[in-house]
Structure 1
Amino acid sequence: MPAITIDSLRKEYGDAVAVDDLSLTVERGEVFGFLGPNGAGKSTTIDTLLGYVRPTAGTVTILGHDAVAESRAIRQRVGVLPDGYALYERLTAREHLKLAASFRAADDDPEAVLERVGLVDAADRRAGNFSKGMTQRLALGMALVGDPDVLLFDEPSTGLDPTGVAELRRIVAEEAAGGTTVFFSSHDLAQVEATCDRVAILGDGRLLAVDTVAGLRDRYGASVTLSIEATPLPDSDVLGSIEGVRGVSLEDDRLVCRCRDAESKVRALRAVFDADVEVFDVDTESASLEDLFAASVGDDAPPSASAPSATVTAETGGTQ
């Protein structure tokens, strides 16, 4: 049984359609990124998963429970870290965790949870004095109480410093290794890329893509950057005529050659190595999820560092 199944979900608010015919399956133990620009329908989908919003059409199930009819059962098995979480200002961190445990009839040791999220030294401080990052850490700790089978995170890295982000990644990896499904929405695409097994991208309420990051790279193409220190530079018309090469341009004494995929990258590199130049170095980079996201939502600008890419420094040994 999948952890999450969304089947033909549609949500309307009057004449506005927030989510349109969304179907998605998330497997148990998977770390799944849920992405999209503002207004894409991410929050509506998450609220539907938790039973806070009733769908206009379609069904949503978590761990076999219907999100409409069995929302109470779902919330007993799901840990939630919402965006902009508000704490009780008069309660301490320890008291917040005890409260979360009481809601789930759990017996988690507050000290152990606080240690895990890096707040053990603030166990008896009132939350009203917490920084934004400390608030986020405590909210994460509350989501972990009761050893949930599914974790739903909405912008989990908000307010966290680099150390906090690294700790969040560690916790996500630990939870997934233990069989917990992690489903999260985030604008921090580097965080998503570093942690997720697959990602889904929404736009205007519709599913635009769902795949691994590697699969998205294959779908949206790749580029090669040949940075050549040579006089004269290799013939741009020759490189531009290679199958799969999308474009060639001169940028600050570098010849930039963008290619569709890894195969066209190899063809472009071979053309450089076959030219009368001496190659000093080759660096290969991968497209960032930010580039792939821009491509999926229809950004007109081509990816600036699409995968796989290579930087070649060369010096001519004669005229071309």
Structure 2
Amino acid sequence: MSAAIETSSLTKRYGETLAVDGLSLTVDEGEVYGLVGPNGAGKSTTIDIIMDYTRPTSGTAQVLGADAHADAIEVHRNVGILPDRFGLYDRLSGRRHVQYIIESKSVAEDPDRLLERVGLADAADQDAGGYSKGMQQRLALAMALVGDPSVLILDEPFNGLDPNGVRLVRQIVREEAASGNAVFFSSHVLGQVEALCDRIGLLSNGELIAEGTIGELREGADAAYQFFIRTKDDTAALSESVRQVEGVSSVIQEGDILRVSCLDSDLENTIRDHIKQSGGVVRECDGSRTSLEDVFVAYTGGERQEKVPA
């Protein structure tokens, strides 16, 4: 399998600010790769370097073996890009936007086919200025798909989408990967990253701190499973006690709830028995597989959030 995207020791400084720090990663053909990180982690900067929108301070980026800077024209010919921030012309129709990209890439393409693929067939003749945010996002995706690019780069592709739009984007991503095309995207919607990606890269302060399948990341964080335990007792005292149970990797107190992370789902009964033997009483205990959000927190030591910002 050949590399669709490859960066080597990629570094970008803005004055004293280190936006990307020695980033080396590879995205294979036919792979869906998700880059996750908090605000300012360097995700969009990495994409900007790959697309030659900005130049690295050091290191290299290649797309299908072509240098991102020296061979930028070839790179753009083979890449479809949905940027986080894109501009549309209010007075141009959806069809005319797609036609413009077709002409700029000099490819034979049917704009109506692409608009139908993203669910905008009925709005093809409507001016983009009248589109909702979700419709604009779909239009930008249609533009990215022009020419059947071998590499699709999506920066926050779920922004502004309703559930039907999210479902459609997921379907398109899977179709592209099944066709042998690489999909590289960043997103703060961690549930979508977890559901779609073959591999995930965790980016923090411009540095790739972990990479792998969601299963590999869970194992690396010693947090494949978690239990939420509510008791009638001194939660702080029980927290320290449960932490001593063999197989438990972390215990976090959240009010009167203990969030226990471990690698083995079978530990639930052991933990219940341990609390009972310590004189405690379990009121509720819910177990689940650890989410990507909790895995990210485990690697960064940050606080748990509903979403990790882009």
Q: TM-score range by the shorter chain?
A: 0.7 to 0.9
Counterpart in the other structure of 1:78: 79
Name the aligned partner's letter for residue 295 of structure 1. Answer: A
Change in CA separation of 1:58 and 1:86 when aligned onto 2, cut-off 3 Å: same
Distance 1:273 1:24, change over 3 A: same
Residue 56 of structure 1 deviates from its aligned partner by 1.3
Deviation of 1:220 (Å): 1.3
Separation in structure 1 between the aligned mates of residue 267 and residue 123 of structure 2, nearest angstrom:
58
Which structure 2 residues correspond to residues 196-275 of structure 1 after superposition, within 5 A?
196-222=197-223, 223-225=225-227, 241-245=244-248, 246-247=250-251, 256=258, 258-262=260-264, 265-270=265-270, 272=272
Structure 2 residue identity aligned to 1:68: H
**Higher relative contact order (Cα pairs below 8 Å, separated by 6+ residues):** 2
Residue 117 of structure 2 corresponds to residue 97 of structure 1: no
Is the Cα–Cα contact under 8 Å of residues 239 and 268 in structure 1 kept in the other structure?
no
Alignment of 1:4-15 (within 5 A): 4-15=5-16
* Residue 295 of structure 1: aligned partner: 298
Say if 1:240 and 1:248, in contact at 8 Å, map to a contact too.
Answer: no
1:44-83 equivalences in 2 (<5 Å): 44-83=45-84
Q: Distance in 2 between matches of 1:61 and 1:46?
A: 12
Aligned to 2:235: none
Segments of 5+ residues of structure 1 without an aligned counterpart are: 231-235, 305-320
Compared CA separation, residues 243 and 257, structure 1 to 2 (3 A)? farther
Once residues 68 and 250 of structure 1 are traced to their aligned partners in structure 2, the CA distance between those partners, rounded to angstroms, is: 48
* Counterparts of 1:34 and 1:185, CA distance in 2: 5
* Alignment check: 8 A CA contact 1:76 1:104 kept: yes
3-state SS of 1:12 partner:
strand
Give the structure 1 partner of residue 280 of structure 2: none
Give, in angstroms, the shift of residue 129 of structure 1: 1.2
Task: Please state how far the C-alpha of 1:72 moved relative to its aligned partner.
Answer: 0.5
What pairs up with 1:65-214 in 2 under 5 angstroms? 65-214=66-215
Deviations 1:102-140 (A, max 9, x none): 111222211211111010000101111111111100000
TM-score, structure 1 normalization: 0.82
The DSSP-based 3-state class of the residue aligned with 1:294 is helix
The 3 A distance-change label for structure 1 pair 226 and 131 is closer
**Residues 11-22 of structure 1: matches in 2 within 5 Å?**
11-22=12-23
> CA 1:51/1:266 → structure 2, altered by over 3 Å: closer, same or farther?
same
TM-score, scaled relative to structure 2: 0.85
Equivalent residue letter for 2:115: L
Task: Flag as ranges the 4+ runs of structure 1 deviating above 3 A.
Answer: 226-230, 236-241, 246-252, 270-276, 281-284, 301-304
Q: CA offset at residue 289 of structure 1?
A: 1.2
Structure of larger gyration radius: 1
Shift of 1:272: 4.8
Q: What is the alpha-carbon distance in structure 2 between the residues aligned to residue 83 and residue 248 of structure 1?
A: 34
Matched to 1:42, the amino acid is K
Q: Match of 2:281?
A: none
Instruction: State the one-letter code of the partner of 2:205.
Output: D
Contact 1:239-1:257 at 8 Å conserved across structures: no
